Amino acid sequence: MSEPNENTGFSADAVATRACAANWAAERALSEHWNEDKQAALENWLAESTANEIAFIRMETTWERTGRLAILRPAAPEKSDVTARRIRPAILRSIFIILAISILAGAATFALQGAKKHTYDTAIGGHKTLVLVDGSRVELNTSTMLQVAVNDERKIWLRKGEAYFQIIHDPKHPFVVMAGALRITDLGTKFIVRQDANRLNVVVVEGRVSFSAKGESAQPLLLDAGDSVIVTRNSISVEKKSVQELARELSWRSGMLVFRHTALADAATEFNRYNHEKIIIGDMAAAHLTIDGTFPMNDVREFSEVAQAVFGLHVERRGGVTVISR
Amino acid sequence: MVEKPGIGAEETGLQRLGGVWPASDARLWFGREILPLEESLIHFLRNNWRNEAEVEDLLQEVYVRVFEAARKEIPAQVKPFVFATARNLLINRFRQRQVVPIESVADLDSLSIPASEPTPERGVIARDELRKLQAALDRLPPRVREAMLLRRVDGLSRREIAMRMQIGEGTVKDYLADAVNMLSDMLYREAEIIRKNI
């Protein structure tokens, strides 16, 4: 054994081994084309001694731990091609009118049609999958209610909440999802429909859907994979989602919430959809901070603790409410 | 089918290696279970060995023995196994040497093995981990830290980091190697110091 280095306490051998292991770890982490030659050289070095192998495990594990730093990524516009598409004014107008009427008349329609349907729902934090007789699958997210036509018609009414549809396509019997005043017709596809109080969102994950206002004779709007349309009382917009964004839209299916440059206030709103324990962001300064990361959707505590650790925010829990503020 | 959206399962660096670096059970186990014990292991060795300068050497020896044992069979009880290995090593070292400090031998028979601590909740680990990482980063040399942040936080490539920092690509690698080397000590050894400094 050589003499310990006075700065580190390690022997010169150990220092050299560690430096070499760190070099390998950095080389591998940075390498875009890690090939068999490099791999063989690394394996040779690892095989020289158990000390080498242990030093390398140490550096690799350290590198892996620094992966958590990604959560600190500052807010910056994500590279996504947001292409707002022109929508023909005629359709637009009729959608607005009917949407407005339906919001007023929604309860009445519901009652009238109640007899011919089966109702399925989930509680806050719930998640349910329905398999229909034709093999189509419908997954209900938190706090959702929908009704399935009992007759031969392939039709579902989404009354509230969010559902993911994986439809077995049958050109002779189109699958129709009604959400408020809007009719979404499957053309062989997977899609998400989410209905909040004043807003409807349809995201096409695969395939195509057509989209129209109920009773509207004008040509329907066609949506392709990646299209996300948001309809409110005053606006309608279509944007293109990247594959990563689509995956995030579906992360609830595995019980996770994924945030990318998400304002803390919006993240809190998402958590509140899934939990009885509500998060309140106490002030605007905190609300505008942006957060990145993946969180278990039912773990309010982990979220608030990360907010506390990363932003130095003050977290107070009282009576089923978590208040996060500066 | 989009059955698995690919979100949620946080892949670890070692798992990601896949075929590249055979992530044997022993290697994964060592990184996950043994390295986090480093601080208490050093503490144990210091308390039971008079020559401070030899502690590092002893630690490495314990690591080698533990790892080689794990290659044959992963021990069921991690902490007792590691500390029993350390204890046996100390006893052997005493025996090999002619001069044995009597009082130390007496102590050795009653060497206490630290009891298992309760595992902290996941949220607490996540929070502590970030705090530790941030504190450790603050202690890196500025250029080394900059390279690390460009890679890990901004996700830049080797070439992009080189251009941004006006350095060669080889230097980028050197900086990251320095970063990972220094961070490994800060993360596995100085958690206590870092915690106190915050």
Give me the domain span that covers residue B136: 122-197
* Residue B181 forms part of a structural domain: yes
Position A76 pLDDT exceeds 50:
no
Q: What is the pLDDT of residue A84?
A: 36
* Residue B14 forms part of a structural domain: no
For B154, which residue in chain A has the nearest alpha carbon?
A73
pLDDT digits (tens, 9 = 90+) for A141-151: 999 999 888 77
Per-residue pLDDT of chain B (198 residues; tens, 9 = 90+): 333 333 223 333 333 333 334 456 788 889 888 998 998 898 888 888 888 888 888 999 999 999 999 988 888 888 899 999 999 998 888 777 655 554 444 444 445 554 444 444 444 555 667 777 888 888 899 999 999 988 988 888 899 999 999 999 999 999 999 999 999 988 888 644 444 444
> Residue B128 is part of a domain; what is its CATH number?
1.10.10.10
Report helix, strand or coil for B118: coil
Of B21, B153, B178, the CB nearest to A70: B153
Q: Are strands A321-325 and A278-281 parallel, antiparallel or unpaired?
A: parallel
Instruction: State the pLDDT confidence band at A72, using cuts at 50, 70 and 90.
Output: low
Q: What is the pLDDT of residue A168?
A: 86
Separation between Cα atoms, residue A320 and residue A280, nearest integer Å: 11
Position A78 pLDDT exceeds 70:
no
Tell which of B109, B138, B172 closes a domain: B109
Instruction: State the pLDDT confidence band at A296, using cuts at 50, 70 and 90.
Output: confident
Q: What is the pLDDT of residue A81?
A: 35
Packed helices B78-96 and B38-48: angle between N→C axes, nearest 10 degrees: 30
Separation between Cα atoms, residue A296 and residue B121, nearest integer Å: 14
Q: What is the pLDDT of residue B23?
A: 54
Are B134 and B193 in a shared domain? yes
Per DSSP, helices labelled H in B30-156 are 38-48, 55-72, 78-96, 102-109, 122-138, 142-152
pLDDT digits (tens, 9 = 90+) for A158-210: 999 999 999 888 888 889 999 987 889 988 789 999 988 788 899 999 888 88
- The answer to whether B15 contacts chain A (CB < 8 Å) is no
Report the domain count for chain B. Answer: 2
Are B95 and B133 in a shared domain? no
Position A250 pLDDT exceeds 60:
yes
Separation between Cα atoms, residue A177 and residue A223, nearest integer Å: 14
* Residue B6 forms part of a structural domain: no
* Residue B56 forms part of a structural domain: yes
Write down all domains in chain A, each with its CATH number in brackets.
Answer: 12-72 (no CATH), 89-246 (2.60.120.1440), 256-325 (3.55.50.30)
What value does the mean pLDDT take over residues A261-279?
89
Are B99 and B130 in a shared domain? no
Residues 6+ apart with CB under 8 A from B20: A28, A34, A39
- The answer to whether B105 contacts chain A (CB < 8 Å) is no
**Is A266 exposed, middle or buried, given 0-12, 13-18 or 19+ CB atoms closer than 10 A?**
middle
What single-letter DSSP state applies at residue A67?
Answer: G
- The answer to whether A290 contacts chain B (CB < 8 Å) is no
Position A87 pLDDT exceeds 80:
no
Separation between Cα atoms, residue A119 and residue B62, nearest integer Å: 63
Interface of A with B in 211-240 (CB under 8 A): none
* Residue B164 forms part of a structural domain: yes
Are B103 and B153 in a shared domain? no
Tell which of B78, B109, B140 closes a domain: B109
Please report residues of B whose CB lies closer than 8 A to that of A59: 180-181, 184
CA of B27 vs chain A CAs: smallest distance (Å): 7
Report helix, strand or coil for A197: coil
Are B131 and B154 in a shared domain? yes
Tell which of B82, B109, B136 closes a domain: B109
Instruction: Please tell me which residue, B189 or A58, carries the higher pLDDT value.
Output: A58
Q: What is the pLDDT of residue A224?
A: 87
* Residue B51 forms part of a structural domain: yes
- The answer to whether A284 contacts chain B (CB < 8 Å) is no
Smallest CA-to-CA distance from A275 within A317, A228, A232, A307 is with A317
